[in-house]
Structure 1
């Protein structure tokens, strides 16, 4: 009988010590945290980790807010554990919501891109570098693109917006360029468009790479974001801060 009583008594004493530890007040002054080190050691691993993270989180919050935050007076170790668990649950919920929203947006973009590709094909047929020419009003080198657009619908296209990605032959991204093609393309017809590009900065590594790599050794792709038709209808959606 005694061999059963001893483990029960030990477990009871350990639980009592843990409960007593959880009722201990946490000093608001971090320099006095050593006073509760023995009580913290009595906690199980999960609770010890939770109270430690709580104390550090609240102290860092005070540091970044000019001392306006911190551990509230009267907070016990048990309170700290409970608050940390609530905070972690909230963080996990927010992360899950953010991940769900990101997945929804990405799925919508993929669906829009598929619809746009059914309506039109956009291809970058050539990329050239126009050298600096002050007499011609070019105060830096300029990247110039030739773009082919095929309208595969029975409606006239009024404009196409998207992103041009420049990758080297090894698949590494060199640069990206947002492009709004405010050009009409008649129904079921194709059109070659020139005059789109951007000035290059000689001090930017990506721009220097664009000038040094031949077009034949780059992969240049157009990722569509939106098509606007002459009748006012649209396919795709551009982010509010870009529209």
Structure 2
């Protein structure tokens, strides 16, 4: 009697095990998956979420095989495939979160540095002008002259500044970006007038647009890069 009960229980367990679609084995050759009726029947019994996971797994496997990977699976069930795909998704999500946190950290550092550097130095556009060629000044083509006012707002002397002049039209669209570095000393609390020149290239859209722009309507921005103080201290904008 006990033997019969045990046998019945064993059969029941086997039937229950076979009824779990996730225990269905995947054909070793992926090319046979679409033709395997048992696999198709098992997949049809999965929930929508599980079906999505399996499709993701199959897609990854197919892409890997397309780039020289092995598309054969050995002793693998649907459940194994679902767990593999979920683990891959979890790892991907964790990496994306790490990248998001790093981006957020860098942005916070940049904002803090920008606030500090803007407090250190005030920069304004005094004049921008297109000038005709001047052979006496060895200017053999038209050229721009630009004047900038720098104000050292600190109690320490600056030994040099580097940054980018950004010139925009009245709508805020960037016309030209100009890298600038000057090693002149700007004493504590003092002003300094920078005057420089730039070649005019008639074949560059940025130059022709700048030349034809109304200087009074230009928008000016200064993007700080590096400030070096006489005492060796530095303020640097994080990348």
- What TM-score do you get using the length of structure 2 for normalisation? 0.76
Answer yes or no: is 1:39 the counterpart of 2:39: no
Seen in structure 2, the aligned counterparts of structure 1 residues 42 and 206 have a Cα distance that, compared at 3 Å, is: farther
Answer yes or no: is 1:236 the counterpart of 2:233: no
Larger radius of gyration: 2
Worse overlay, 171-180 or 213-222: 171-180
SS class of match (1:185): coil
Seen in structure 2, the aligned counterparts of structure 1 residues 131 and 99 have a Cα distance that, compared at 3 Å, is: farther
Counterpart in 1 of 2:173?
172
Seen in structure 2, the aligned counterparts of structure 1 residues 221 and 237 have a Cα distance that, compared at 3 Å, is: closer
Aligned length, in residue pairs: 221
Q: Which runs of 5+ in 2 are unaligned?
A: 1-15
Seen in structure 2, the aligned counterparts of structure 1 residues 154 and 27 have a Cα distance that, compared at 3 Å, is: same
Q: Give the Å deviation of 1:102.
A: 1.2
Counterpart in 1 of 2:184?
183
SS class of match (1:106): helix
Q: Which runs of 5+ in 1 are unaligned?
A: 1-14
Q: Give the Å deviation of 1:134.
A: 9.4
Counterpart in 2 of 1:220?
220
- What TM-score do you get using the length of structure 1 for normalisation? 0.75
Q: Give the Å deviation of 1:33.
A: 3.3
Seen in structure 2, the aligned counterparts of structure 1 residues 231 and 115 have a Cα distance that, compared at 3 Å, is: same
Q: Give the Å deviation of 1:22.
A: 4.2
| Whole-angstrom distance in 2 between the partners of 1:149 and 1:208 | 27
Q: Check whether the contact 2:30–2:73 (CA below 8 A) recurs between aligned residues.
A: no
SS class of match (1:126): strand
Q: Give the Å deviation of 1:125.
A: 2.2
RMSD: 3.1
Q: Give the Å deviation of 1:237.
A: 3.7
